[in-house]
């Protein structure tokens, strides 16, 4: 979990993208095992990885040793060389080209607007612009897969396509609601992934976390998981031929936010039926949060005094209680907080105990610290909203 990574948890000018060498990654382990490791684009850590406080001690990016476009990276590998590559698409990250969705031929009337936002043309257009970005990211992934096919590498290469956070809209990015935590996750691995209809693929409904990818990669490569890894490999799920729920022990996932430009620490537990969020700075308004500016965000802010829009402003940017509890089936956009409503069967107590136990087990300072909530990892500039996050 990010709270186990010290200063690396922060998203600020001084500490952003820095990972101390004592925190080993799956790419480190694969490099040591003889793999070539490379990366490009968004993701991993940026150019400051070796300048962190305490002395990061790294000589290359934790995502990989070589920074090259994928085609050049593959061309540089001798035959039979195992490799691990991070392709970080920058698409679907603000800013979007205004009106690009409509220009591409997409129709405003075809958009389904989540009920947490006003259903107006400007927001429909913003969503269509986002869809164009998603398609561009898909194109990049498709080109990489074509290279693997042309080189005869596709059958022996595990390909994973995933998002790293929800779409860059209010109540999504920099939030623990489903629009912020549920991300695409697609896995392809030649004929090693079997199923009842391989042409369509299998749909697995187990609760998984992107943390699970690290031990998955290592197990696939025959490399022992690092001793401090707490996630679970997905290999048993991938090697099964069944669909649906495969591992009954995967009852919950945990998540959290500390800083994404704005300091607003929160933690959550998500089961099949419920989402419980604890806001440690609930005495403050969420404000602009860590969501990049864009038409949807700016329109809601501009109309926050409008009585017809007030509920949207409150849902997206207003004050939040210490605890939020949602029935994710009945309330997929998490708009009705059930915390404190005992007539609902009160799953709050059991969920809160499970969440707190996990945070204690993993050494979360949000649970162990005494006194008021304060900055733990980042410099004070991380608490400011900045020009992009008013």
Task: Identify whether residues 203 and 265 lie together within a single domain.
Answer: no
Of 209, 239, 269, the position where a domain reaches its end is: 239
Task: Identify whether residues 335 and 235 lie together within a single domain.
Answer: no
pLDDT of residue 85: 96
What gap in Å lies between CA 1 and CA 211, rounded to an integer?
8
Task: Identify whether residues 203 and 263 lie together within a single domain.
Answer: no
What gap in Å lies between CA 33 and CA 46, rounded to an integer?
24
Domain around 64: 2-239
Task: Identify whether residues 268 and 206 lie together within a single domain.
Answer: no
Cβ neighbours of 162 (radius 10 Å): 11
CA distances, 359 to each of 119, 262, 281 (Å): 38, 22, 17
Does residue 60 sit within a domain? yes
Does residue 171 sit within a domain? yes
- Helical segments of 41-96, H only: 70-75
- In 3D space, the residue among 358, 352, 357 whose CA is nearest the CA of residue 322 turns out to be 352
DSSP codes of every residue in 261-275: SEEEEEEEEE-SSEE
What gap in Å lies between CA 185 and CA 385, rounded to an integer?
31
pLDDT of residue 387: 40
Q: Are 233 and 216 in contact (CB under 8 A)?
A: yes
| Confidence (pTM) | 0.91
Does residue 192 sit within a domain? yes
Please name the helix (run of DSSP H) or strand (run of DSSP E) that holds residue 324, with its range, or none: strand 323-327
Task: Identify whether residues 262 and 233 lie together within a single domain.
Answer: no
pLDDT of residue 202: 86
Cis ω before 95 (30° cut-off from 0) = yes
Task: Identify whether residues 166 and 69 lie together within a single domain.
Answer: yes
Does residue 225 sit within a domain? yes
Of 183, 205, 239, the position where a domain reaches its end is: 239
Q: In the chain, how many domains are there?
A: 2
Task: Identify whether residues 225 and 275 lie together within a single domain.
Answer: no
What gap in Å lies between CA 261 and CA 16, rounded to an integer?
9
Task: Identify whether residues 262 and 224 lie together within a single domain.
Answer: no
CA distances, 182 to each of 30, 47, 177, 208, 383 (Å): 28, 29, 8, 10, 26
Residue 209's contacts (CB-CB under 8 Å, 6 or more residues apart) are 231, 253, 254, 255
Q: From first to last of its 390 residues, what are the pLDDT tens digits of the chain?
A: 888 877 666 655 444 456 778 888 999 999 999 999 999 987 666 655 555 555 567 788 888 999 899 999 999 999 999 999 999 988 888 889 999 999 999 999 999 999 999 999 999 999 999 999 999 999 999 999 999 999 999 999 999 999 888 889 999 999 999 999 999 999 999 888 876 555 667 889 999 999 999 999 999 999 999 888 889 999 999 988 888 999 999 999 999 988 777 788 899 999 999 999 999 988 787 777 778 889 999 999 999 999 999 999 999 998 899 999 999 999 999 999 999 876 656 799 999 999 999 999 988 888 877 666 666 654 444 444 444 445
Of 206, 239, 272, the position where a domain reaches its end is: 239
Task: Identify whether residues 131 and 234 lie together within a single domain.
Answer: yes
pLDDT of residue 370: 66
Does residue 314 sit within a domain? no
Task: Identify whether residues 195 and 261 lie together within a single domain.
Answer: no
Does residue 105 sit within a domain? yes
Strand ranges, E, within 175-241: 185-188
Task: Identify whether residues 27 and 115 lie together within a single domain.
Answer: yes
Task: Identify whether residues 259 and 153 lie together within a single domain.
Answer: no
CATH (domain of 349): 3.30.1120.10
What gap in Å lies between CA 18 and CA 61, rounded to an integer?
9
List the structure tokens of 300: 């809601």
List the structure tokens of 228: 């401090």
Question: What are the beta bridge partners of residue 186?
Answer: 161
Does residue 290 sit within a domain? no
CATH (domain of 127): 3.40.720.10
Eight-class DSSP state of 373: -
List the structure tokens of 111: 């958009």
Does residue 310 sit within a domain? no
């Amino acid at each position: 979990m990010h709270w186990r990574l010290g200063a690396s948890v922060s998203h600020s000018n001084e500490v952003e993208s820095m990972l101390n060498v004592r925190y080993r990654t799956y790419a480190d382990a694969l490099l040591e095992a003889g793999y070539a490791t490379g990366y490009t684009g968004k993701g991993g850590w940026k150019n400051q990885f070796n300048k962190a406080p305490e002395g990061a001690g790294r000589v290359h990016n934790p995502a990989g040793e070589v920074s090259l476009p994928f085609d050049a990276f593959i061309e540089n590998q001798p035959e039979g060389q195992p490799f691990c590559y991070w392709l970080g698409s920058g698409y679907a990250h603000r800013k979007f080209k205004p009106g690009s969705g409509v220009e591409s031929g997409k129709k405003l009337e075809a958009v389904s607007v989540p009920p947490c936002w006003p259903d107006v043309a400007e927001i429909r257009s913003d969503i269509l612009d986002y869809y164009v970005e998603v398609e561009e990211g898909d194109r990049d992934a498709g080109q990489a897969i074509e290279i693997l096919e042309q080189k005869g590498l596709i059958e022996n290469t595990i390909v994973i396509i995933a998002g790293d956070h929800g779409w860059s809209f209010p109540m999504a990015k920099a939030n623990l609601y489903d629009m912020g935590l549920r991300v695409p996750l697609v896995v392809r691995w030649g004929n090693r992934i079997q199923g009842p209809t391989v042409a369509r693929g299998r749909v697995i409904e187990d609760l998984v976390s992107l943390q699970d990818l690290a031990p998955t990669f290592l197990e696939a490569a025959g490399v022992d998981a690092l001793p401090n890894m707490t996630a679970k490999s997905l290999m048993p799920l991938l090697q099964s031929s069944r669909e649906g729920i495969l591992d009954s022990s995967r009852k919950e996932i945990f998540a959290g936010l500390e800083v994404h430009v704005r300091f607003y620490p929160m933690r959550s537990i998500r089961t099949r039926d419920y989402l419980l969020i604890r806001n440690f700075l609930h005495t403050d308004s969420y404000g602009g949060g860590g969501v990049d500016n864009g038409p949807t965000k700016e329109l809601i802010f501009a109309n926050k005094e409008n009585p017809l829009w007030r509920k949207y402003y409150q849902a997206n940017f207003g004050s939040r209680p210490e605890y939020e509890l949602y029935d994710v089936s009945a309330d997929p956009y998490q708009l009705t907080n059930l915390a404190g409503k005992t007539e609902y069967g009160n799953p709050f107590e059991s969920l809160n105990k499970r969440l707190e136990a996990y945070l204690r087990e993993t050494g979360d300072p949000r649970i162990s610290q005494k006194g008021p909530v304060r900055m733990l990892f980042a410099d004070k500039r991380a608490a400011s909203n900045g020009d992009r996050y008013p």
